[in-house]
Amino acid sequence: MQNGRMFDWNDLKAFLAVARGGSTLAAAKALGINQTTVARRIEALEVALALKLFERGQAGSRLTEAGQTLIVEAEAVERATEGFGHQAKALQRGMSGTLRVTVNETLANTFLASALADFRRLYPDIRLEMLITDAFLDLSKGEADIAIRGTGLPSLPDSDLISRKLTDIEWGIYCSRDYAIQHGVPTTIEDLNDHLLIGGDTHLGRLPPLQWMLEQAPRGRVHTLSNSLSNLLVSVKAGLGIAPLPHLNAAQDPDLLMCIELPHIPSLVFTLWRPDMKDVPRVRAFIDFLTPHFAGARRALEEKGRLMQEEARRAVAEARAQAEV
């Protein structure tokens, strides 16, 4: 550290809060302290590191290149710090028992697979039962203890359940590389009327991005329906048509190409649990564990997806140029 000065964990908390909130004001509200204190902690951290972490402007605070690099390490410190606290609480309360978690296959593979080993290390006496399904299990009837869901309606159909937001999910209209080379890439919503579309069936058809696509392109040819998000992604990869997919999954697939960025449609990942379970130690431990994990995983996936999509666009452009020769 510069001049031998050390920073403390509160400096890193301010750093993370400004990065996530986009401004010192948003960070102050999230941390429950005043804006001046946040700014002072950021300044102290930058002095200690001898690095500029944010570009500041009227629109807020944006991470510099150094800040983007260090945010990953700061999130690792956050997880380690919270893990230390979780482990201490587990030892205090003798945490054990079975926890049944229902989640769809897409979220399980994207977010949870990398998290379960860490959770098991922190809480070795909690037995996790993962119920992988696209169906909405009924928590009120005890079909699961916790649900992790991605949708735009967190209050329905479980209005009596407690929910916590984990992360936002942005969607885009995707096709396969082969489809793009053979049929071209739609660049506007109106263009979708001239393409093959893949729709959703049963509960999947009620997701806002799929409803929006079909409303905006009523003349599009819907020849395939899917009731599974993971199958929807596979169907697009197979060249069966075009469909909306979550960026966190589709953007990092080398066989998929984003055609159109959807306008912001309310869609998020959140946890649900029954009110009578809120004070059960293993339930609380799992819920508190997920929040920082999802934040870190989302950031890493977004960066990987950006690079993958740049490469995919170049490959499609080159292939179409060669086909025209």
Query: Residue 47's domain is classified under what CATH number?
Result: 1.10.10.10
Q: Which two tokens stand for residue 109?
A: 């593979």
The verdict on 179 and 243 lying in the same domain is yes
Across 236-273, b (16+ Cβ under 10 Å) vs e yields bbebbbbbbbbbbbbbbbebbbbbbebeebebbbbbbb
Q: 93 falls in which pLDDT band (50, 70, 90)?
A: low
Q: What is the pLDDT of residue 198?
A: 93
Asked whether the CA dihedral 55, 56, 62, 66 is positive or negative, the reply is positive
Q: Are residues 178 and 44 in the same domain?
A: no
Question: What number of other Cβ atoms are within 10 A of residue 41's Cβ?
Answer: 24
C-alpha Rg value of the chain to the nearest Å: 22
- Asked if residue 3 has pLDDT above 60, the reply is no
Whether the CB-CB separation of 90 and 122 falls below 8 Å is answered with yes
Do 209 and 291 lie in one domain? The reply is: no
Does 260 or 297 have the greater pLDDT score? 260
Do 43 and 17 belong together in one domain?
yes
Question: What pLDDT does 172 receive?
Answer: 85
Higher-pLDDT residue of 308, 113: 113
Residue 269 or residue 139, greater confidence: 139
Note whether 236 and 123 are same-domain residues. Answer: no
Q: Tell which wins on pLDDT, 39 or 95.
A: 39
Express as a percent the part of the chain with pLDDT over 70. 86
Q: Do 268 and 152 touch, CB atoms closer than 8 A?
A: yes
Give the per-residue pLDDT at 60.
Answer: 86
Q: Identify the sign of the CA torsion 112, 113, 117, 118.
A: negative
Residue ending a domain, among 48, 77, 106, is 77
Q: How many domains in the chain?
A: 3
46-66 average pLDDT score: 90
36 with 108, same domain: the answer is no
- In the prediction, which pLDDT does 90 show? 60
How high is the mean pLDDT of the chain?
A: 83
91 confidence band (pLDDT: 50, 70, 90): low
- pLDDT for 297 beyond 60: yes
Instruction: Answer whether residue 228 shows pLDDT above 80.
Output: yes
User: Which pLDDT score, from 0 to 100, does residue 156 have?
Assistant: 47
More confident residue, 158 or 142: 142
The per-residue pLDDT for range 163-201, each reduced to its tens digit, is 888 877 778 889 998 998 888 888 888 999 999 999 988
Q: Is residue 47 domain-shared with residue 100, that is, in the same domain? A: no
Q: How many CA atoms lie within 13 A of 10 on its CB side?
A: 11
Dist. CA 170–CA 313, nearest whole Å: 19
Instruction: Give the range among 94-103, 194-203, 297-306 with minimum mean pLDDT.
Output: 297-306
> Residues 127, 163: one domain?
yes
Report whether pLDDT(253) > 80: yes
Residue type, 306: R
Residues 311 and 260 in one domain: yes
Mean pLDDT of all residues in 203-221: 86
User: Has residue 325 got a pLDDT over 80?
Assistant: no
Both 233 and 111 in a single domain? no
186 shares a domain with 50: no
Q: Are 226 and 312 part of one and the same domain? A: yes
- For residue 16, give its domain range: 2-77
- Percent of the chain at pLDDT > 90 equals 30
Give the contacts of 2 (CB within 8 A, at least 6 positions apart): 47, 48, 49, 50
- Asked if pLDDT for residue 153 goes beyond 70, the answer is no
